[in-house]
Structure 1
Amino acid sequence: MITYARMKNPKLLIVLDMQDGRLEKTKEFGADLVFNPGKCDIDKEIKALTNDYGCDVYIEVTGHPSSVIQGLAVTRKLGRFVEFSVFGSETSVDWSIIGDRKELGILGAHLSPYAYPFVIENMMKGNLKTDGVASSMFKIEEWEKAFDYATGNHGDFKVAFKFD
């Protein structure tokens, strides 16, 4: 996601995550600045960087309700909020932020079958970085262990199955 965003040549690519290890990896993949919302006031940081203006584009990829609320707060007037997540529960927001106060463009996005050829081609060419994302590889017979590691409790970003 970070390397694709970098391909669009943003003036400043800021990444937010609650896990410092993930933030370090995003720097390797092209993030200019990283912030942990658990350790700082994101609204204050973004406003300081943009002279109280806010983000032009906020892409929500966590699937956590607090990220939606945070994203709507830090997106500038007439900015764009992109929702890319799958949620485990309903999320409520103050819709007046979207219409009355900021006149935001809201875009829903998710992987489509048409995205895969682009992604595969650019991964093979090295344009989309993936080094270290799948931090543990498992044989299919180890599926229970793989699912345990996929929880993130062992510090993994993503896990994958290796077929011989």
Structure 2
Amino acid sequence: MKAIRCHGFGGNHRLETGLDVPRPGPGEVLVRVDASGICAADRAMWDATGPWDLSFPFTPGHEFTGTVVELGDGAADRHGLREGDRAIAELNITYGNDFFRQRGKYHLSDRMDVLGATLDGGWAEYMIYPADAVIHKVPDTLSNRAACYVEPLANAIHGVQRADIGFEDVVVIAGAGPIGMGMVQAARLKTPRKLILINPGEAKRKLALTLGADLAFHPDDPALGTTLDDLTGGRGADVFLEASGRGSAFLQGLDLIRKAGRMVVFGVYKDPVPFDLNILGEFKELDLRGGHLAPFTYATALDLMARGLIDGEACVTHSYPLEAYEEAITRKPQPGEVQIKVIFEPNKPG
């Protein structure tokens, strides 16, 4: 088979051919990869700007969907699967019964493998879902492209859940990447009073308005502040979700959010962000919450897309074969173009 293998950070990726197709062990599932996404974390590995310490080589790709082609001993009963099913595995594989797993926070477990990092991921024609993976069947109504969007959407849903959005809330979301655009759609289902997106690119702002945002602004648009003042009597936003990974967006959130507001930080930041801690306590008494991964939200993401409540297809904008991996990983949007989720389709003919 073919696979993209990472031999080190800083663009040290290679397309390798003639690799053995892995065979599933007890409880494991072999899938033919139908689609596998490129995440900002994958680009950080390419650029050597990420905060992770990993062993090489490995096959990246933690956003994927595949068709079951072989089941290891006991895997059919363990996972409720049969050959021909389409299925997704959650990216984090946890073990044991540590403090966090006991409390339902398995995504924070001290013992964890990650598909596409410590275990081989989906940038390949075939991959193994481990015996300890949490695996979900893909509904027949979902395309492979929409199914590939489940992982970032599940993250977005977790972030929205962390925000505890209420009916009367004015909600601001910063960033219109895969997670930010998923947050727009998931937050709309919470029916806040107003839902506002902040993003530099006009094309993404226009798309967000079709996917659920009431208003969309460039971060430098002075109308953003005046609009928030008009909506809230000068108090500021009730909820601010930071999904851009930009320090400037986090700082803007501190400025725009009201006293006792809720702020969820879901971005991954390349550099430290200095700010005045007095804003959190002395001046605003903010409720600052982190967001990480997608505990218990993969099934929700699949269900919401299957019911037509979230449009996953709209968020998968570009597809490449494995052979064009460098172009795909480094791709930048053209002026006026919407680029959200770029994927590989390793087994697509032609």
Fold in common (TM above 0.5): yes
User: Equivalent residue for 1:161?
Assistant: 344
Q: What is the aligned-residue identity percentage?
A: 31
User: Equivalent residue for 1:7?
Assistant: 189
1:61 aligns with 2:247: no
- Asked if the contact 1:43/1:73 (under 8 Å) is kept, the reply is no
Q: What per-residue deviation string (whole Å, max 9, x for no partner) do you get for residues 95-140 of structure 1?
A: 1111011111111112224222211222222222223322111112
Q: Which has the higher helix share?
A: 1
How many Å separate the matches in 1 of 2:198 and 2:251?
Answer: 14
- Asked if the contact 1:13/1:33 (under 8 Å) is kept, the reply is yes
How many Å separate the matches in 1 of 2:295 and 2:261?
Answer: 28
How many Å separate the matches in 2 of 1:120 and 1:146?
Answer: 26
User: Equivalent residue for 1:27?
Assistant: 209
Residue correspondences, number? 163
Structure-to-structure mapping, 1:42-121, within 5 angstroms: 42-121=224-303
- The amino acid across from 2:313 in the alignment is D
How many Å separate the matches in 2 of 1:4 and 1:132?
Answer: 14
- SS at structure 2 position matched to 1:110: coil
User: Equivalent residue for 2:156?
Assistant: none
CA-CA distance at 1:153 after TM superposition: 5.0
Cα RMSD (Å): 1.7
How many Å separate the matches in 1 of 2:245 and 2:283?
Answer: 24
- SS at structure 2 position matched to 1:100: coil
Report the more deviating stretch, 135-144 or 153-162.
Answer: 153-162
CA-CA distance at 1:12 after TM superposition: 0.4
CA-CA distance at 1:41 after TM superposition: 5.3
1:152 aligns with 2:333: yes
Unaligned runs of 5+ in 2: 1-182
> Whose radius of gyration is greater, 1 or 2?
2
Following TM superposition, the consecutive aligned residue runs of length 4 or more in structure 1 with deviations greater than 4 angstroms are: none
TM-score by length of 1: 0.91
- Asked if the contact 1:139/1:163 (under 8 Å) is kept, the reply is yes
Structure-to-structure mapping, 1:130-149, within 5 angstroms: 130-149=312-331
- The amino acid across from 2:222 in the alignment is C
Please point out which of 5, 12, 36 is paired with 2:218: 36
- The amino acid across from 2:304 in the alignment is N
Report the more deviating stretch, 137-146 or 60-69.
Answer: 137-146
